[in-house]
Structure 1
């Protein structure tokens, strides 16, 4: 019997134990031994189930799928939806078009861009599309972890309900587990809607809904990794001064008025994303691993294990949101350093659940 099947067999046993008024200790030990053979526990079962779902053949009649392998592909497709941008793209040249599409805006010549007619619209489309794609990619990347959190809550609620039915738990204890399940279910429903909404936003940004038959979109699997270092404050001020020198007085004032906030968002988002990945996730993983060891040694109960599985999944969702916020802030800063001002700046909300996640 393979490990996923062994754990699937073990979980009903854990639930079934609650049906007895005085569950024999031997049954608990048997269940713990089975779970111990698959130490990643509930999270691995979910991965196994998701792999099976992914392998299922496509259903006939579903909309065609637009596959985007990178952010640059999305930006280039958005430009194609604007025929009036063909001329500035040709004037810009292949190398600088590639830099603009891939988000390497710091390598562009702001002075040269200002000499190209409609270059501002070219940059605006790239900026808006990039932010829309980043937000959508974060939603997609977080979905499996949000499903893990829901299924852990559902398992705990099911076990609690059976314990309460047999008189081994109070109604208060059961109500707490049921409330956690309801909250997790509500969050999962919001997440599914957010995924639908973000896919629609991508298709709208690329104007696919007016150019082709109904379709859905497949995005890159994960957000770009955080850079090893960010633009220093001195380098930021130097670039800001050079850019301001090329602008009329009114535009200089507008850019400088937003410059400090743009850099603050960028720097703070980088610090939060790094801390979320290196500190929070590392500690959460350690707590989860230690909980598994103590659970296998019968020092902690099933609810402890499920609670930590849920907490680890939620921490991963928060980390994804923090990385998303950094790249949104980075896009805004780069736009500003090309002489344009974003409509709004990212809000660095707790847990990475930013109101600005819907993009530009």
Structure 2
């Protein structure tokens, strides 16, 4: 029959080795970052170190701008660093806790007593196999949050990209309008001096020129501000490094047709997937809480003492908490409340996702229809009117100022067409975010960028 010493040592070894197979290990540096970036559309080629410089060497597209943000935005890099810290903390939570070791030396006259003890929390060891999946689930949530931030930044970059090109196109067109207005003003002055037109007509042309000059200055300021917003998202210190197209892409021949937009949003949106993961984690936590409802403290100590010339004293001490005042009801009630909250969060997220997807698709369809209307109806009609007015002017059937008045109407129609085209590309980006993005609505291009890490359950 084994001795009490052998039994206690065997028990201690068994408890120390319980759950060793559940210990997690840190991933390679940068692997999680690359996995998240790949999931948000960055290719393996883009992950190489010089890729940002290569992309900035030529005129960038909308998708390339988003790639530069994902690779170069300082706020996102900080988020990835914090994700690495979270991973280290969660891995540590799955490791076997260090044993407690104590040494005591007591004297009484000429007598001396020396004691050694080593102990460990049995509850932590026995529940380690159940706690490890929860820890991993929490880290998965943290990783999903980092992915959400990455997707949101890419979305903001696409909006800022469209806004910058539109502002540049409007600035350039405003310069052309200003040049034409200046010519009309000078002509009106000459005719007024010669007495061929009234001072009222000359004043109208002067007023149009003055308004065109003011608008041109506003266009410059708005373009510089839009370019600065884009530079901040791209993580660039100088706007001169950005090369953009001169104009927005043309309207596609047909609008996008999404068969089941609501289902796509429920399957692909990160906020929906994150809410589901939180729910699964809450279910696991509730089960663990019920397991430890009555006993959640159980200590095992192995102790040995020596006393002068007496035989060595050794043995095992087991301690546990007596549930006199709290039978685990409070912890169980709290876990059940979190469970109900998680169910409500999943339902709320699903409702919001479906509604936002429908709203975004309706806005996209309306923007496409309006832009096509300006492209196919308004602008060609104004062009036709301009040609007819030119013929009448050449035949001296109308005055110069009738021709100039019609030119102002054509300017207004062209500006409205550019605005409608810009609105279409904005709505196209919003639609992508509502169906395949991070959810929670879409930020405007000038809104503050996401640079921090949101709170994560378990931290």
Which residue in 1 is equivalent to 2:252?
227
Please, which of 266, 290, 302 is the counterpart of residue 388 of structure 2? Answer: 290
Structure 2 SS opposite 1:181 = helix
Which residue in 1 is equivalent to 2:60?
69
**Bigger fraction of residues in strand:** 2
Ranges in structure 1 where 5+ consecutive residues have no aligned partner: 1-64, 88-112, 346-355
**Bigger fraction of residues in helix:** 1
Once the two structures are superposed, the pairs formed by residues 31-42 of structure 1 within 5 Å of their partners are none
Once the two structures are superposed, the pairs formed by residues 255-274 of structure 1 within 5 Å of their partners are 255-274=353-372
Once the two structures are superposed, the pairs formed by residues 75-114 of structure 1 within 5 Å of their partners are 75-81=66-72, 82-83=76-77
Which residue in 2 is equivalent to 1:169?
197
Residue deviations 1:137-186 (CA, integer Å, cap 9, x gap): 11212333222222222222222222223333222222222221111111
Shift of 1:293: 2.2
Ranges in structure 2 where 5+ consecutive residues have no aligned partner: 1-55, 82-139, 277-345, 449-459
Q: 1:357 to 1:149 in 2, by over 3 A?
A: farther
Q: TM-score, normalised by structure 2?
A: 0.50
Which residue in 2 is equivalent to 1:14?
none
Q: Partners in 2 of 1:129 and 1:344 — Cα distance?
A: 12
Q: Partners in 1 of 2:389 and 2:171 — Cα distance?
A: 24
Q: Partners in 1 of 2:432 and 2:239 — Cα distance?
A: 34
Contact 1:262 1:333 in 2 (8 A): yes
Shift of 1:281: 0.8
CA RMSD of aligned residues (A): 3.1
Q: 1:358 to 1:294 in 2, by over 3 A?
A: farther
Task: Answer yes or no: is 1:158 the counterpart of 2:186.
Answer: yes
Task: Answer yes or no: is 1:321 the counterpart of 2:413.
Answer: no
Contact 1:164 1:170 in 2 (8 A): yes
Q: 1:249 to 1:133 in 2, by over 3 A?
A: same
Contact 1:280 1:315 in 2 (8 A): yes
Q: 1:68 to 1:343 in 2, by over 3 A?
A: farther
Q: Partners in 2 of 1:217 and 1:307 — Cα distance?
A: 38
Shift of 1:319: 1.3
Shift of 1:272: 0.7
Shift of 1:279: 0.8
Shift of 1:204: 1.3
Q: Partners in 1 of 2:370 and 2:447 — Cα distance?
A: 19
Structure 1 SS opposite 2:398 = coil
Q: Partners in 2 of 1:359 and 1:84 — Cα distance?
A: 19
Q: Partners in 2 of 1:203 and 1:253 — Cα distance?
A: 35
Shift of 1:85: 7.6
Please, which of 362, 377, 385 is the counterpart of residue 279 of structure 1? Answer: 377
Q: Partners in 2 of 1:276 and 1:171 — Cα distance?
A: 36
Structure 2 SS opposite 1:208 = coil
Structure having the higher Rg: 2
Select between 122-131 and 246-255 the one with higher mean Cα deviation: 246-255
Contact 1:255 1:340 in 2 (8 A): no
Please, which of 171, 177, 181 is the counterpart of residue 149 of structure 1? Answer: 177
Shift of 1:80: 1.5
Residue deviations 1:220-239 (CA, integer Å, cap 9, x gap): 22222222222446432442
Q: 1:75 to 1:85 in 2, by over 3 A?
A: farther
Shift of 1:344: 4.8
Q: TM-score, normalised by structure 1?
A: 0.63
Q: 1:270 to 1:85 in 2, by over 3 A?
A: farther
Please, which of 435, 438, 453 is the counterpart of residue 340 of structure 1? Answer: 438
